[in-house]
Amino acid sequence: MKTALQLQAQTRLSTPLGPLTLGATARGLAVAWFDHQAHRAEVLDAPELPQHPHLAAAALDFEQYWRQPSHRFRVALDPQGTAFQLAVWQLLRQIESGSLSTYGQIALALGKPTAARAVGAAIGRNPLSIVVPCHRVVGRNGSLTGYAGGLPRKQQLLAIEGAVAAGVGTAVGTAVAAAIAATNSGAIVGETVGAVAGQSPTHGAGTPGSDSLAVTPAQPTHRTAFSQRASVTG
């Protein structure tokens, strides 16, 4: 059973990777969805109010992010999810720009080392694209695995943030670099953002149950913590 989002306002935001739909509650930014993203609501029941404080703050954050990908989003957040989903999304916010993590590492951080697949499912439901950086999570063998907003967007975001360069020399970083190089050379079909986004890819496909690869250590975030209120979204 799904619970309707209690949004106060929404707006459309142009980005280098295509339009984003932003939605905000009284508590913070609740959604940042690409067009045709998997698991998104196609229609939001909220007025168009780009001047809403949380939407205006998010727009400024995105502007700064595209200029400087290491920028930390400071807008207050209010994603709606189960307690487990919120815990996963909170950990994603600790992965620094330019760094990579894996499904297994996040499962270990949660104290659930065999829950990599459940972590992948929660990541696939992340409602805050880029803001909660699920694109920084890859398979333990370096495979990109998928992205709800379209695999080409994940590849481009990792390239923009320098994650591949930073990861070279580690097994996961080298594998990610190879995967992106193969795609860019045409070895993987469906390079266009529109084509792949329309296929609604999901996270976690084929993710192993545990993982021990090292990544760049993530520092605790100073951003506003998620609301502890949980609602069922899946």
CB burial of 219-228 (b: ≥16 within 10 Å; e: otherwise) equals eebeeeebbe
Q: How many CA atoms lie within 13 A of 68 on its CB side?
A: 7
Task: Give the sign of the dihedral formed by CA 69, CA 169, CA 193, CA 46.
Answer: negative
Other beta carbons within 10 Å of 194: 12
* Bridging pattern class, strands 20-24 and 29-34: antiparallel
| Sheet strands (E) in the chain | 9-13, 20-24, 29-34, 101-102, 137-138
Q: Give me the active site residues, please.
A: 134
As beta bridge partners, residue 34 has 20
Q: Are 59 and 50 in contact (CB under 8 A)?
A: yes
Cα of 63 vs its chain's centroid, Å: 17
* Token pair of 148 as six digits: 């709800």
Task: Give the sign of the dihedral formed by CA 229, CA 225, CA 214, CA 148.
Answer: positive
3-state secondary structure of 105: helix
Q: Are 34 and 196 in contact (CB under 8 A)?
A: no
